[in-house]
Amino acid sequence: MYQRTAAEHGCKGCNRSPQLSEEKIQRLITIALQGKAPEELAAEEIQQQRFETCMSCPSLQYGTTCKHCGCLVHIRTRLAASSCPSPYGSQWQSEACKEV
């Protein structure tokens, strides 16, 4: 029995690469942070700590995306009100992201 592929069903996400260029990431960061007040952004040191934790987390997909929430970690780590969405507890408060 022939089954149509997701692309044949019209799934827009299935015929594009999930990989984002550095240029695209920077454009998305600019758009996401546009109009944010300084108090809405995490301090630079906190952003860096969060980002490093995410980049070493086994739940990071494609080097950009959290598998738990689908966010771009490049943006989520910069927002003061954000938290780590890991169902195992926030990994931003620990040295490394560990998946059970």
Is 6 part of a structural domain of the chain?
no
Number of domains in the chain: 1
Is 12 part of a structural domain of the chain?
no
Is 11 part of a structural domain of the chain?
no
Q: Which of 34-38, 63-67, 83-87, 91-95 has the lowest mean pLDDT?
A: 91-95
* Non-local CB neighbours of 42 within 8 Å, separated by 6+ positions: 50, 77, 78, 79, 80, 82
Is 37 part of a structural domain of the chain?
no
Q: Which domain holds residue 88?
A: 44-100
Q: How far is CA 14 from CA 3, 5, 21, 23, in A?
A: 15, 9, 18, 22
Is 66 part of a structural domain of the chain?
yes
Is 8 part of a structural domain of the chain?
no
Phi-psi map region of 10: left, alpha, beta (phi>0 left; psi -120 to 50 alpha): left
pLDDT digits (tens, 9 = 90+) for 36-81: 999 999 999 999 999 999 999 999 999 999 999 999 999 999 999 9
The better pLDDT of the pair 38, 6 is held by: 38
Is 62 part of a structural domain of the chain?
yes
- The two structure tokens encoding residue 22: 């550095």
